[in-house]
Structure 1
């Protein structure tokens, strides 16, 4: 593994022929080839109706239609969730931020590995340290706010995973906002999708009538005189979870020829990372550490024999190819095997990377930087845990 680290160290600063790491995997539905799988449902711009994201692409040199089963953002989130799980199990530690509080007696914790905008999320902008100091005025907070393309050292020390998965400081007013492109990219597609249909409805065992009732925060009641009382709303009983809903046609997933995952780790993006006035040894070790985090996240999230993307989209791994992508020869791409197959392999590589970065001078904390919501955010969080009134039933 030490030889592999040395190769990664050179590659991440573009000091070798290695230009990227690539993972190409193929899956099939747990029910077998052709069994419908369910992509994420989106509102289509063309029809304003629910549908799936499809587009033409070249696959093996042929133009085909593909459906997006899991986008780049979602795949990065899966890696971050897997990293957080490994941290929770005590297998590794990666510096991160943690917002901790309680609402209605329920413990609440949001980390920079979960927040939508990572360390730059509004959750942390609107947080305070235990001494009451706003997060952006604390040591780590101020350093992150002051970071620039010439010095991402604060990210390397406090939230290094942001450098792997990308971040945009869009929640803070600044003439030049920090934007860090993702170094690691992954997505999953289905090839040549055939869109299916299914019947969606609701059966009521007692066959309650589908009449209209009045609704208040206290609950619902039959309407007197055909009109709701003053200040009350109205809804059909079926909308409140009672009564019959006749079956109607709905999206039924897709049947595809193949399910493919393609992931890359860009050495060009890693080499673009700068950490201020530091030695070249420090800079190279920092880039290699970010690369090791990206490989660790990929192995933790995707090395298993099966994966669940969402309900109705459980997939079994059929094949996987992990490779270095080198400078081409004689007009042909050049690749070599990458010997990082399991999470254990990736953990070993990561530990070497952390050790080398520390020896080069990197400060590496052993616990997250904990903050708490300010008064306004605490109030908003508490309100989200309060049950008030009756909501509408979701469609089956």
Structure 2
């Protein structure tokens, strides 16, 4: 066995104890710094949101202590989005065959286009309405199938069904808000990650459009079959009208718009909470199974993080491309002398995370975990299929984007 392999096995043994709070390790923390691909201070585009005070578009900015200094920060990627990136990376690994996790798969097609949704990309994970409104190959509603009932009946005393069918939900959290129950299933996230820009300077830009043919006319008639120029000075009474720019033509004079931000630094902070992992219970399972199951959930979270963020560059969205400057993956231990102790964790690369996940999977199976080699296959019910089909229809003229 290689030195690297021995180190990963040591990590697993330490994780096995930490995830049940049987050691001085309280968390795993990832701290990373990035810079724009254009260099420090180059413009980045955060996600735009509707600002409550102005009812217009803006960025999420808030005060925070960074390095002991009170500064303003701008959100570049919130925890929900970062979790989605990890889940998508896990799904990509499953498709490549480099790792496997049990999951739910709703598959269909519409207008000749394949449509697939899994609990790794559905908004509410395995408890999403997509699965509530799906059925198995025999036409049985998902919630009435054996897997559906098992997930529906799970509780804080026994998350065995989640571990067996949708284990990633235990790492990223889930809330069953789509089913009418007095006590709803809520599993807090064990893994959390977020990205901020420190001390943002908010810029502006001119947004407009030049029409190469300078099409004449400001108002057009719009119908289900398209649009036509208005004849004369007014459209006929009762017809739907729009500006030429709203159907993608004509000139739009430049106007001031959001121009991104320049920041002092870009930081990502991720953490894996051992205290949350230690709350996971699996019914009457013994200590060996419970400890192995918790360590497996931790290994899934670490694998998702490395798959999503170990690369030298990261794209958050158009206009927000980043280069990794530095990164630390650390154990965070119980404090001494007024500060928690940090120690390097030897899982930095994707391959090391894959090795750790394989060890954790083997140990959980040895303790009694039974994972199916195939996802739970579902299809949309008639109502959901109709809604999906409708979303693929193209009829009439839509509004131009970004006007």
TM category, shorter: over 0.9
CA contact (8 A) 1:209 1:244 kept: no
Distance of 1:231 and 1:120 partners within structure 2? 45
CA contact (8 A) 1:210 1:238 kept: no
SS of the equivalent of 1:307 reads strand
Query: 1:1-396 residue pairs with structure 2 within 5 A?
Result: 1-229=8-236, 232-395=239-402
CA contact (8 A) 1:164 1:182 kept: yes
Q: CA deviation at 1:224?
A: 3.6
Q: CA deviation at 1:361?
A: 0.7
> How high is the TM-score relative to the length of structure 1?
0.99
SS of the equivalent of 1:83 reads helix
CA contact (8 A) 2:278 2:294 kept: yes
CA contact (8 A) 2:333 2:340 kept: yes
SS of the equivalent of 2:303 reads helix
Q: CA deviation at 1:395?
A: 1.7
CA spacing shift, 1:298–1:385, aligned 2, 3 Å: same
CA contact (8 A) 2:217 2:229 kept: no
Distance of 1:263 and 1:209 partners within structure 2? 54
> How high is the TM-score relative to the length of structure 2?
0.97
Q: CA deviation at 1:373?
A: 0.3
Distance of 1:294 and 1:369 partners within structure 2? 21
Distance of 2:343 and 2:227 partners within structure 1? 66
Number of aligned residue pairs? 396
Distance of 1:179 and 1:120 partners within structure 2? 10
Alignment deviations for residues 311-332 of structure 1 (CA, whole Å, 9 cap, x no partner):
0000000000110000011212
Distance of 1:380 and 1:234 partners within structure 2? 28
CA contact (8 A) 1:201 1:395 kept: no
CA spacing shift, 1:140–1:103, aligned 2, 3 Å: same
Distance of 2:74 and 2:58 partners within structure 1? 11
Q: CA deviation at 1:228?
A: 3.7
Distance of 2:277 and 2:299 partners within structure 1? 11
SS of the equivalent of 1:264 reads strand
Distance of 1:209 and 1:13 partners within structure 2? 71
SS of the equivalent of 1:334 reads strand
Distance of 1:94 and 1:226 partners within structure 2? 64
Distance of 1:115 and 1:346 partners within structure 2? 24
Q: CA deviation at 1:378?
A: 0.2
CA contact (8 A) 1:18 1:326 kept: yes
SS of the equivalent of 2:294 reads helix
5+ long unaligned stretches in structure 2: 1-7
Q: CA deviation at 1:335?
A: 0.9
Alignment deviations for residues 159-201 of structure 1 (CA, whole Å, 9 cap, x no partner):
0000000000000000000000000000000000000000111
